[in-house]
Structure 1
Amino acid sequence: MAETASEAAATVEKNATTGIARITLSQRAIERLELLTDTVKPGSGGAGIMFPYAALLYDAQGKTWVYTNPEPLLYERQAVTVTKVEAGAVTASVGPAVGTPVVTVAAAELFGAEFNTGK
């Protein structure tokens, strides 16, 4: 069954100040992408935060990012400052708060949607 215009798979709203977009996906798009999240955890020994390496993205300038899921169906890119990558986990000194969901499967697709909007 095809989606109608009112059931768009994704809408991308760029923030004019930051250049970072808010991406809203339909439930069907989330299912098609098989999008998964995991939560940010406290770093070991109180050192920053930890999240799965699968959530980490690098942009063309080498900056590091994750996509957070602050509300149902809503995804936003957030900068992280990586201090260590080990055993499939990232420790960061700057990034989303502990407990924040981050995208671990389909983050690259969100990145593509954010930068290939044709606008």
Structure 2
Amino acid sequence: MRCTHLGRVVVALIAALALSSCQKYSSAEQTEHPAKLEPVEGSHLIKVILTERAMERINLKTDVVREVPVRSNAEKRKVVPYGALIYDPQGETWIYISPEPRTFMRHRVAVDYIEGNRVVLKEGPPAGTVVASVGVAELYGTEFKVGH
């Protein structure tokens, strides 16, 4: 009798585990979009707002605009990592700045020259501005709905 009772318990546990694996996700989990696009008031630009999970999936990394001495004259200039640059179809050069966590928007820059992995800017955002340095192409694709 004891063996039969134990057998029923084991069968019940297996059935419960099998049924729980068939559970549907809540509608909130199914409809969560990895990115939200918001127009920037007074411009043609778009804010790309990513979920935490989306940032992990594209392995998005950030850095900051730095002011550092360049070349031999030790003049301080604004620099960004080379991975921060993206060129649009018209040849304009952009970076994605991050005014808030998980929020990115394109910012036009003028490049003076590129030295290794460092881009020296003629014009760009102020030193200390957070910029995307990895995952920039994915941000651009998200903004323009490439592949969607």
For Structure 1 versus Structure 2, the TM-score category normalised by the shorter chain is: 0.7 to 0.9
- Deviation of residue 17 (structure 1)? 4.2
Any residues of structure 2 matched to 1:1-119 within 5 Å, and which? 3-5=29-31, 7-15=32-40, 17-44=42-69, 45-47=75-77, 49-116=78-145
- Per the normalisation by structure 1, the TM-score is 0.88
Q: Which amino acid aligns with 1:75?
A: F
Larger radius of gyration: 2
Structure 1: 5+ residue runs without aligned partners?
none
Which structure: greater helix fraction? 2
Size of the alignment, in residue pairs? 116
TM-score (norm 2): 0.72
CA RMSD of aligned residues (A): 2.0
Distance 1:117 1:22, change over 3 A: farther
- CA–CA distance in structure 2, aligned partners of residues 85 and 24 of structure 1: 29
Displacement after TM superposition at 1:15 (Å): 3.3
Alpha-carbon shift at residue 16 of structure 1 (Å): 6.4
Stretches of structure 2 that go unaligned for 5 or more consecutive residues are 1-24, 70-74
Q: Which amino acid aligns with 2:111?
A: V
Runs ≥4 residues deviating over 4 A: none
